Amino acid sequence: MKNHDKLFINGYWVASTGSARLDVISPSTEERIGSIPDGTAQDADAAVRAARAAFDGWSATPAAERAALLQKIHEGMKARSEEIGRTIAGEVGMPLKLATRIQAGSPTFTFGMYAKLLGSFAFEEKVGNSLVLREPVGVVVAITPWNYPLHQIACKVAPALAAGCTVVLKPTEIAPLNAFILAEIMEAAGVPKGVFNLVTGTGPVIGEALVNHPDVDMISFTGSTRAGKRISELAAKSVKRVALELGGKSAAVILDDADLAAAVKGTVNACFLNSGQTCSAHTRMLVPAGKYDAAAKLAIEAVKGFTLGDPFAETSKLGPLVSKAQRDRVRGFIDKGIAEGAELLTGGPEAPDDLARGWYVKPTVFGRVDPKSTIAQEEIFGPVLSIISYRDEDEAVRIANDTIYGLAGAVWSASDAHALAVAKRLRTGQVDINGGTFNMLAPFGGFKQSGHGRELGKFGLEEFLEYKSLQMRPEAAG
């Protein structure tokens, strides 16, 4: 049981100004595993004021000193990686092996990456008679989701600190325990007072107070498109910079010349990772009409390898969904798919026979899905794959692009050149070519209603910087 009764503001662990608490519930046992403060608008104000007061000093700190501090944080996270993995397996439900490798490994890498990147990043350059500077945007509010909680925190906090910004973090109240571990690591690393602040609570209360705060310069948000629109509306009142990483409905386009078995297996894996609770999941599999039957059989076979169970059990490859509400929502989409005439190939809305407790959903595959149907258009955020057939490549591209989203995707072909040609036609932020793996140095983000702005690598650092041009006299510039 991990009960946290204080917030981290201005370098101190302090009590919330309110007395309410929020319980953290295990998705596999449905039991309480911890609690956190349900923060108030007053807590938000205190955190922002601390970040504002710390900004001048931190922004003037040499890049080498900021890098050294990020490296200390990286080392602190590495030392506690097992604890982080177990914590996130418990509050999110991802199987422990995967949670340790991905949920703990990725954010640890991110802090180390930005420590190294600061050694070569150019914060100023000469352009004609101008000296062009890159300066920190200011006080940043980071609002993060529950599916990859610490990874998404690191994608915002690490580059913001690297840029010289000060930060107020509001993690999800559904899976917040990992954020307290990070705050403890920050404290132990010697982060200056006010540079990093942690407040917890709900979006409508503390989240909106942060977004509305006049001393906040930027909001970086990852979550639902609905919430992203709300944040944009509030931030527009004071013209705050906003970076959004939102939903997705990504298509894996399997071309006629592809290795069908490898492509189907790769797509199923990309769809079901973290029980389908991945914004970039490949949830639509587009196959040539003449290969539909073979693809359907291969998909059914691939699903057999996704053993549902306790995230702490060695045999589990698929854990529960994060909450009862999420489980019920996903089952509702499965019911909708059946009602709209899609062919249920495997899985379904019923509870798994051997898992009476926990918010589990059977890994589900639909075939002969209408590309305009609900399950082909809306983000389900669960282990549900839709197989859609197409007549030719032009139709495949049209179907892949025909959603409000544009976050990720894949193209499979016998030829990388052929796959690249099709990938360039997809309106999406990243495309995996023939199973290409995720690159933490490449920009991550989306087109259309998947958001705007980019995370990771130098591109993520640039999100937290402003340009300033200093026009020099010609003789001084030379």
Residues 287 and 394 placed together within one structural domain of the fold: yes
| Percent helix, strand and coil across the chain, each to the nearest 5 | 40, 20, 35
Residues 435 and 462 placed together within one structural domain of the fold: no
pTM: 0.97
Close Cβ partners of 19 (under 8 Å, ≥ 6 residues apart): none
In this prediction, residue 1 carries a pLDDT of 83
202 part of a folded domain: yes
477 part of a folded domain: no
446 part of a folded domain: no
Q: Dump the DSSP string for 44-81.
A: HHHHHHHHHHHHHHHHTS-HHHHHHHHHHHHHHHHHTH
297 part of a folded domain: yes
Residues 170 and 284 placed together within one structural domain of the fold: no
Residues 393 and 459 placed together within one structural domain of the fold: no
Q: Return the number of other C-beta atoms located less than 10 Å from residue 428's C-beta.
A: 24
In this prediction, residue 476 carries a pLDDT of 64
Q: pLDDT tens string for the chain (478 positions)?
A: 899 999 999 999 999 999 999 999 999 999 999 999 999 999 999 999 999 999 999 999 999 999 999 999 999 999 999 999 999 999 999 999 999 999 999 999 999 999 999 999 999 999 999 999 999 999 999 999 999 999 999 999 999 999 999 999 999 999 999 999 999 999 999 999 999 999 999 999 999 999 999 999 999 999 999 999 999 999 999 999 999 999 999 999 999 999 999 999 999 999 999 999 999 999 999 999 999 999 999 999 999 999 999 999 999 999 999 999 999 999 999 999 999 999 999 999 999 989 989 999 999 999 999 999 999 999 999 999 999 999 999 999 999 999 999 999 999 999 999 999 999 999 999 999 999 999 999 999 999 999 999 999 999 999 999 999 999 997 765 5
* CATH number of the domain residue 304 falls in: 3.40.309.10
Which of 156, 151, 152, 177 is closest to 166 using CA atoms? Answer: 156
345 part of a folded domain: yes
Q: How many domains does the chain have?
A: 2
Residues 220 and 331 placed together within one structural domain of the fold: no
Residues 255 and 233 placed together within one structural domain of the fold: no
> The domain containing residue 274 runs over which residues?
250-441
d(CA 225, CA 296): 31
Residues 63 and 196 placed together within one structural domain of the fold: yes
Residues 203 and 318 placed together within one structural domain of the fold: no
User: Is the CB of residue 266 less than 8 Å from the CB of residue 295?
Assistant: no
Kindly report, residue by residue over 350-371, the tens digit of the pLDDT. Answer: 999 899 899 999 999 999 999 9
Tokens 């859609």 — which residue? 388
Residues 70 and 6 placed together within one structural domain of the fold: yes
End-to-end CA distance of the chain: give it in Å, rounded. 64
Q: Return the number of other C-beta atoms located less than 10 Å from residue 3's C-beta.
A: 13
476 part of a folded domain: no
Which of 78, 9, 79 is closest to 44 using CA atoms? Answer: 9
* CATH number of the domain residue 184 falls in: 3.40.605.10
Residues 99 and 192 placed together within one structural domain of the fold: yes
46 part of a folded domain: yes
Residues 159 and 94 placed together within one structural domain of the fold: yes
Residues 215 and 272 placed together within one structural domain of the fold: no
Which of 6, 39, 41, 8 is closest to 22 using CA atoms? Answer: 39
474 part of a folded domain: no
- The catalytic residues are 245, 279
Q: How far is CA 432 from CA 159, 194, 411, 413, in A?
A: 24, 40, 6, 11
